[in-house]
Amino acid sequence: MPVDGSDLAERGLPPGAWVAGRLGAELHHVTARVSRDERWWYEGYTARLAARYPGTTAHLSDAHDVAGAILATARDLDPCLVCLGTHGRSRQAAVMGSTFAAVAARGVAPLLAAGPRAVPHTDEEAARIVVCLDGHSMAEQALPLAAAWARRLGMRLSLVTASDPVLVADEDLAGEVRYGPTGDPGTYLDELKSRPVLAGLEVDAVVLWALSYPHVAIGEALDRHPAALVVTTSHARRGLARAALGSEAARIVHRSPAPVLVQPASRG
C-alpha cells in the first residue's frame, strides 16, 4: 500500500487491510522520494500507521520514480497485491501523472483502487463481487480474476453492464460488434453466466438500461445494492496512451462506493 502522508494515499489503507484480513496476507507500506533529511519524519509517520494497522512492515525508498518504487517493492514481495488510493477521475488526470495510472501502465498484475467514495462493505447483503462488462471481449478478461476472488472470499458474482438504448441502436447501425452475435445485452450476459470459468459459483446478471454514462449507472446501482468489491478491466498502455486508463475504468473507480479491482487488459 503506497503512502506519502496524504489523505488521498491513505484511502487505500482500509480496503487493503480488509483484503489482507480476508486473505490472511501481510500488510506492507511503501513510500518513495524519501530524502535523507526527511527520513526521520517518515519513520515516525509509518510507525503511527503501524499502530493503526498492527503487523505492517514499512518500506522507505529514496527513488524519485514513485511508480517504479511501488512496482519494485511488489516484485520483491511477490505474490503481492498493490492497493492504492486514487482520484481515478478523468483522461486528463491520467496524463498528468496519476500514480495509479503510471503503475497500471507499467505493470501486468491486478491493482486494487480505492476512490474517494470507496469503503469496505462487510455486511452479508454486500457479500458479492460486481463485474463490470461493456459488451467487448477485452472486458471479459476480468472474469477469471473475479471468479478466483469469489471462490477465495466465498462470495457470489454479479455480472453488470450499463447500456444506453439509444447508443446501442446507433452502434448496431454503425456495424460495431458488442454483446455477442445477437447484440442483446441480456442474452450476452446469460451466455457469460454459463461459461466454465464461472462453474460452481452463484452468479446473477443485471442490465442497467439508462440514458447516462456507464459509470453513473453502475455507481447508482451500487449505492442501492452495495458490493464488497467491483472488478473491471483497464486498457492502460505506456506513454501518453496510458490515458486510456482515464476513460470508463477510471470513472468507475472515482464513482464506485466499493473498492475496485482493476485487471490490466491484454491485447495479445
The per-residue pLDDT for range 64-77, each reduced to its tens digit, is 999 999 999 999 99
Residue 55 has pLDDT above 80, yes or no: yes
Which grid cell sits at 193? 453466466
1-85 classified as CATH 3.20.20.70: no
Q: What is the pTM of this model?
A: 0.86
Residues 6+ apart with CB under 8 A from 253: 86, 88, 100, 113, 115, 118, 260, 262
Report the chain's mean pLDDT, rounded to a whole number. 84
- Looking at the chain, the domain(s) classified CATH 3.40.50.620 span 1-85, 124-264
CA distance 191 to 183: 12
Residues 6+ apart with CB under 8 A from 102: 66, 67, 242
DSSP designation for 2? B
What local confidence, expressed as pLDDT, does residue 157 receive?
Answer: 96
Displacement of CA 247 from its chain's centroid (Å): 13
Find the angle CA(6)-CA(10)-CA(15) to the nearest 5 degrees: 165
More confident residue, 97 or 251: 251
What local confidence, expressed as pLDDT, does residue 60 receive?
Answer: 94
The per-residue pLDDT for range 139-191, each reduced to its tens digit, is 999 999 999 999 999 999 999 998 877 665 555 544 556 788 888 899 999 99
Q: Which CATH class is domain 124-264?
A: alpha beta
